[in-house]
Structure 1
Amino acid sequence: MLHHIAPEVVQISLMPRNSINCYIIEGVLVDAGIRSSYNTVRKALEEIPVYQHVLTHAHADHQGCSDQICEAFSIPLLCHPDEVCRTETGMVTKDYPSPQHWIAKLQQKYWAGQGHRVDQTVVENDFVGNFRVIETPGHSAGHISLFREHDGILIAGDAAINMSLLTTATGLRLPPNIFTSDRQRNIESLQKLAKLNPAIICFGHGPVMRNSDRKFEQFVAKCSALS
């Protein structure tokens, strides 16, 4: 299902209640759900053409159909240098705190896609269209977010999530510890994002949030106080 968020920003909701999302920003596909998301993403790209694909990070619910999409549409794949190994091998759960946990094993077996060659890496202050790359490590080593200055749109990946993954209730949360390599570093990355005062925040999990009441900054301040 396609949701037009802002000019040249489209959310593709890949699971009910926005539980897994990817986005098309200015002709670029951001993330690609799980392996079985392929048909949904393919149909979206037949409607809205893209010329490249970038990953916020190479976890199974973000790189799941990247290989299939890049092959089908002949588009290059981009990620942060610290995500290249997972992206190219498809072994995406090795850096989890507990890679032998049954959920990690399930994700690797059923959600993760095959590895795909990375054509280009992106780092802090590079641009993807008009979106500036913000390095936001913590959830994974090379996690990035993308920020468009002129209208304050933030693609946050999994730096924060906007739902409970257990109940699907909407609300800002840190990503689960079981999938997060460094919780404290993740909070520091959120502090960096809060300084941008984003107007609209697009999450990998949960509905898009309009931030007119500064809920995001309040959430980050609370996380920082508890860390």
Structure 2
Amino acid sequence: MMNDNVYKGITEWQGIREMPWNRPFKMSIFLYVVDGLLIDTGPSTLGQESIKFFKENNINQVALTHVHEDHSGMAAWLQEKFKIPVYLHEDSIAEAAVEPEFLKYRLEIWGRRPAFKAQTIPAQIETDKYCFQVIDTPGHYKHHKAFLESNQGWLFSGDLLVNTKPRSVFCEENMSEMINSLEKISTLDFDTVFCSHTGILKNGQQLCHQKLEYLLDLRAKVQEMRQQGLEDREIDSRLFPEEDKVGVLTDGDFSSFYIVSTL
């Protein structure tokens, strides 16, 4: 399933992955083209649909928020077919050059991430009409970027603001780094967030503050329990006592424990 939408000159594409597992799984992917710049490529499992979108838009450069396969799975195809630059965090370029092995659930949802040759993302990305400031925003991944067009009040946030109150996160995430990134972002001038999984969010600053406050409150609780002598596993079971459904689906690749242990 896919949908296209145009917002203030930005073409938004939505693809949806649904998995017929015992516990149903459904997640959206949003891609954006603004003045010839494609932000993220989506996964290879949505390639049949996204290729049509790519061909219908005049894409002349690609900027990746990070190298995860749901964001970069079509980068190799775009490079081969369109002969355009793909920009990525400098510390992920070597990772992008090798096709990784994934757990079964990741292959089923997002598919392969073929190797591609990325270029170091510059401090600013320019199009004919716009200039995007490239901002380091580790947390979801250690090599994560967001793109700010301050004149328009736009923030392309990748996976920074997917969920304002996360109760289960990916094993590579670091919530202390996420707090630092949210504190940095909260000082910037923007109102509209373009999220990779929830779409266009017109109350972006408010959502940023909500997530920051949630994580700061959690950190205070975690630190207080540690001072009482509790180990992180016990803290996790007290703060998040309910079954972790995402953790079950992903063989523990997602867990509330990764929130606690990185605060």
Q: TM-score, length-normalised on structure 2?
A: 0.70
The answer for the alignment partner of 1:146 in structure 2 is 147
CA RMSD of aligned residues (A): 2.4
Contact (CA 8 Å) 1:66, 1:116: kept in 2 or not? yes
Whether the 8 Å CA contact 1:83–1:143 is kept in 2: the answer is no
1:74 aligns with 2:83: yes
The answer to whether the 8 A contact 1:28-1:50 is kept is yes
- Indicate conservation of the 8 Å contact 1:153/1:198, yes or no: yes
Question: Any idea what the Cα deviations from partners look like across 1:142-189, whole Å, max 9, x if unmatched?
Answer: 100001011211100011205xxxxxxxxx344952243322102211
Match of 1:28 in 2: 37
Cα 1:29–1:219 change in 2 (3 A) is same
What is the identity, as a one-letter code, of the residue corresponding to 1:40? E
Q: Secondary structure of 2:133's match?
A: strand
Give the Å deviation of 1:203.
Answer: 0.9
Change (3 A) 1:88 1:151: same
TM-aligned CA distance change 1:92 to 1:79, over 3 Å: farther
| Conserved 8 A contact 1:35-1:113 | yes
What residue number does 1:96 align with? Answer: none
Q: Which residue of 2 aligns with 1:99?
A: none
- 1:66-101 deviations in Å (ceiling 9; x for gaps): 1112212121111011221222113276xxxxxxxx
1:202 pairs with 2:186: no
Q: Is the 8 A contact 1:11 1:23 kept in 2?
A: yes
Question: Residue 50 of structure 1: which of 53, 59, 63 is its match?
Answer: 59
Write the mapping of 1:118-137 to structure 2, written as runs, cut at 5 A.
118=118, 120-122=119-121, 125-129=123-127, 130-137=131-138
- State the partner residue of 1:3: 5
Per the TM alignment, residue 107 of structure 1 is displaced from its structure 2 partner at its CA by 1.5
Q: Distance in 1 between matches of 2:156 and 2:83?
A: 24
Over 3 Å counting, the alpha-carbon distance change for 1:161 and 1:212 in structure 2 is closer
Aligned 8 A contact 2:175 2:215 in 1: no
Runs of 5+ unmatched residues, structure 2: 18-25, 220-263
Report how far residue 223 of structure 1 moved.
2.1
Which amino acid in 2 is paired with 1:186?
A: M
Which residue does the alignment assign to 2:174? Answer: 182
What SS does the corresponding residue of 2:156 show, helix, strand or coil?
A: strand
The reply to whether residue 91 of structure 1 matches residue 83 of structure 2 is no
Residue 115 of structure 1: SS of its match in structure 2? coil
CA apart distance, 1:121:
0.7
Unaligned runs of 5+ in 1: 94-103, 163-171
Alpha-carbon separation, structure 1, partners of 2:196 and 2:217: 24
Q: 1:217 to 1:204 in 2, by over 3 A?
A: same
TM-score by length of 1: 0.80
Q: Are 2:114 and 1:114 aligned?
A: yes
Q: Structure 1 residues 209-218 or 43-52, which shifts more?
A: 209-218
The structure with the larger Rg is: 2
In percent, how many aligned pairs have the same letter? 23
Amino acid at match of 2:100: M
Name which structure has the greater RCO, CA cutoff 8 Å, separation 6+. Answer: 1
How far 1:197 sits from its partner (Å)? 4.3
